[in-house]
Structure 1
Amino acid sequence: MEIMCLNGWGGKLHEALLPYLASKAPDILCLQEVIHSPASQKDWLTYRDGDHILPQRANLFRDVSAALPEHVAIFCPAAQGVLWDDDTSIPSQWGLATFVHRSFPIIGQVQGFVHKDFSPVGYGDHPRSRSAHGVRIWDYDANRAVSITHMHGLRDLNGKMDTPEREKQARKLLDMSRSLAEPDDLTVICGDFNVEPDSETLSILSSAGLTELVTERGFDSTRNTQYKKPGRFADYMLIDCEDAVNSFDVIHDPEVSDHCPLVLKV
């Protein structure tokens, strides 16, 4: 089974991202920063937050669903705000999504918030609402259940340092994973955590018996040349049985986002 985790960067590199996902077609895709604008048929809209202006693929959830036609697609919104079509505001949902190949029965799910709650009118003040989603699937080849939970960790305008809010979200993420997994499951937790490798977030998850694969396997970055700011880590993948890992990689080429895809084979 192949599990991929990626922050899609709102589909900014759409022309590279969609063919990459279609060609790789991982069994499980955990995708963060996903846009869903059902009121618009536009391909592109614009996100505006003060001086922060970013093109957004207006229906990235629809696009990825089309690129993975053999997958069950689940979208989990964190907020509904507006994107812009020139001077026209368009209601748009922002969140994360999970794609599961149809050959893997989904036998359990968990969805909830690790920071704040759903923001129905506007994206809200920073740090904004953050959600998580998990699926429990049956792997016939390995004759076992696998529980995979991912989140998009909160963005603090002051940086990636430890905060009480980040501690709380880590514990909520762990609680969600535990509520999904049964005792004999292989358990995976992943996502764009928006923290450094020495963070309290990773300490909390490691103390629960999970091994963090990015730093454990010697990778020095989960960012690529698209990312111009300091700090080379954001994305992590943890597993509760390292012996189950057949391979793990951080993909720097091709560049399909300003984050690197994390790819685990178990």
Structure 2
Amino acid sequence: MEIMCLNAWGGKLHEPLLPYLKDAAPDILCLQEVVHSPASNKDWLTYRDADHILPQRANFFRDVCSALPDHQATFCPQAQGILWDDDKQIPSQFGIATFVHKALPIIGQIQGFVHKDYAPDGYGDHPRSRNAHGVRVYDELTNRPISVLHMHGLRDLSGKHDTPDRTAQAHRLLALNEQLTDRNGLSVTCGDFNVDPHSKTLQILNAAGFQELVAAYNIPTTRTSHYKKAARFADYMLINDMQAVKTFEVIRGPEVSDHCPLILRL
């Protein structure tokens, strides 16, 4: 089984990203920063926040669904805010999405917020609402259930250091995992956690029996050349049984986001 985790940067690099996803077609794809604007048929809209102006792939969730027609797709919105079509306001949802190949039976599923709650009237102030989504599938090749849970960790404008909100977020993520995973079952947790490698978030998950693979495999960075800031880590993948790992890779090319895809093969 192949599991991919990626912060897709709102589909900003969709031209290389969509063919890459179509070719890779992992059994389970965990995507963060997914835009869904069902009120618009436009390919691109604009995000405006004071002097922060970004192009957004308006229906990125739809784009990935088209690239992976053999996958069951679930979109989990964190908030609904406004994007712009020139001077016209367009309601748009922002969140995470999970894609599971239709050959895999989904025998359990969970969705919940790890920071704040759904924000229906705007994206809100930082740190903004964040959620997690997980599936438990049955792998017929190994005759066992496997849980995969991912989140987009809250962004704090002051940096990726530990905060009380991030500590609370880690405990909520762990509680969701405990509800999703069978007793003694194989469990994978991943995402753009927005924390440093030595964070309390990862320590909490480690104390619960998870081993973090980016550190275990001595990966030098999970960022691409499109990311210009000094911090070189944000994305992590953890597993509760290292013996189940066949391979783990952080993909350097093609560059399909300002984050690198993380790929685990079991």
CA distance in 2, matches of 1:151, 1:172: 11
Aligned to 2:93, the other structure's residue is in SS state: strand
Aligned to 1:221, the other structure's residue is in SS state: coil
CA distance in 1, matches of 2:184, 2:202: 23
CA distance in 2, matches of 1:197, 1:184: 26
Aligned to 1:260, the other structure's residue is in SS state: coil
CA distance in 2, matches of 1:243, 1:173: 23
2:231 equivalent in structure 1: 231
1:133 equivalent in structure 2: 133
1:241 equivalent in structure 2: 241
CA distance in 1, matches of 2:76, 2:215: 28
Deviation at 1:85, TM superposition (A): 0.7
Deviation at 1:155, TM superposition (A): 0.3
CA distance in 2, matches of 1:210, 1:15: 35
Q: TM-score, normalised by structure 2?
A: 0.99
1:220 equivalent in structure 2: 220
1:153-210 CA distance string (max 9 Å, x none) = 0000000010000000000001101100011321000000000000000000001010
1:112-170 CA distance string (max 9 Å, x none) = 10000000010011100001000000000011000000000000000001000000000
Query: What number of residue pairs does the alignment pair up?
Result: 266
Pairwise mapping of residues 38-77 of structure 1 onto structure 2 (< 5 A)? Answer: 38-77=38-77
Which deviates further from its counterpart, 183-192 or 114-123?
Answer: 183-192
One-letter identity of the residue aligned with 2:126 = H
Matched, 1:253 2:253: yes
Q: Which runs of 5 or more residues in structure 2 are unaligned?
A: none
One-letter identity of the residue aligned with 2:56 = Q
1:70-129 CA distance string (max 9 Å, x none) = 000000000000101111110000000000000000000000100000000100111000
Runs of 4+ displaced beyond 3 Å: none
Matched, 1:115 2:115: yes
Q: Which runs of 5 or more residues in structure 1 are unaligned?
A: none
1:177 equivalent in structure 2: 177
Q: CA RMSD in A?
A: 0.5
CA distance in 2, matches of 1:91, 1:180: 32
1:190 equivalent in structure 2: 190
1:235-264 CA distance string (max 9 Å, x none) = 000000000000000001100000000000
CA distance in 1, matches of 2:21, 2:184: 30
Q: TM-score, normalised by structure 1?
A: 0.99
Percent of aligned pairs sharing the same letter: 67
One-letter identity of the residue aligned with 1:7 = N
